[in-house]
Amino acid sequence: MKDMPWLPTFVWIDYRVALLFTVIFPLVLLIWAFVQKAEAMQRLMIIYWRVSSLLAITVYLMIGALPIAFISGWLARWLIPASLWFWVDLNEEIDDQPGSALKLSFNSWRWGVSLYSVLGLLLQVPTLRCGLMSQTQLLETTACRLWLEPPWGFREFFHASTKPYFLGFLGILALVVYVIYLGYFVVFRLSKQGRSATGY
């Protein structure tokens, strides 16, 4: 790590920014949208939470030190902005709403998390090689292992009595369900409803 002394700091900053942009802000916006009865925003936020659950799955895969976590995490950064801008009907309905603090906050967050995700796609391309390693190689490669440390800290705080391999196994099961659901959506629902979230 002598040639990349900044990497540990970058890793921890990335996880903190991710917590802010992908968990805290969208949770506040979801609650706010329900209180204000902003149906289009509610629907889009629900879609966002379904898609972004891949980030939570990635955390559990990383706890188990499973190389596929680096691929799933990278794909999540692609799927998140796609899910927020893909739906023509929801975009039009949100644009047509009168100006409000909720609309401004929602659009600011949507642009912010999209920019964060795209930057992450570019900056984390080098980590994709970690996803092609064996578990032993992964743990022996410092540049890859650093990305596992925040999820390990999460485990110590929330799952201290649970073995890492079991949490990794849960992550694999969740990933299988996610892939099946995504495949079903792409093959069956997307072909019928196109870019309409409501199907009309």
pTM, two decimals, is: 0.92
* Average pLDDT in the chain: 93
Cα(95)–Cα(97) distance, rounded to whole angstroms? Answer: 6
Q: How far apart are the C-alpha atoms of 89 and 94, rounded to whole Å? A: 9
Q: Which parts of the chain sit beneath pLDDT 70?
A: 1-3, 199-200
The predicted structure's pLDDT at residue 105: 97
3-state SS record for the chain: CCCCCCHHHHHHHHHHHHHHHHHHHHHHHHHHHHHCCCHHHHHHHHHHHHHHHHHHHHHHHHHCCCCHHHHHHHHHHHHHHHHHHCCHHHHHHHHHCCCCHHHHHHHHHHHHHHHHHHHHHHHCHHHHHHHHCCHHHHHHCHHHHHHHHHHHHHHHHHCCCCCHHHHHHHHHHHHHHHHHHHHHHHHHHHHHHCCCCCCC
Please enumerate in sequence order all residues whose Cβ is within 8 A of that of 117, keeping only pairs 6 or more positions apart, or say none: 77, 78, 80, 81
Output the pLDDT for position 199. 63
Phi, psi of 167 (to 5 degrees): -65, -35
pLDDT tens, residue by residue, 49-65:
999 999 999 999 999 99
* pLDDT given for residue 181 in this prediction: 95
Q: Can you give the pLDDT at residue 39?
A: 94
Domain parsing of the chain, residue ranges? 7-193
pLDDT in the model for residue 71: 97
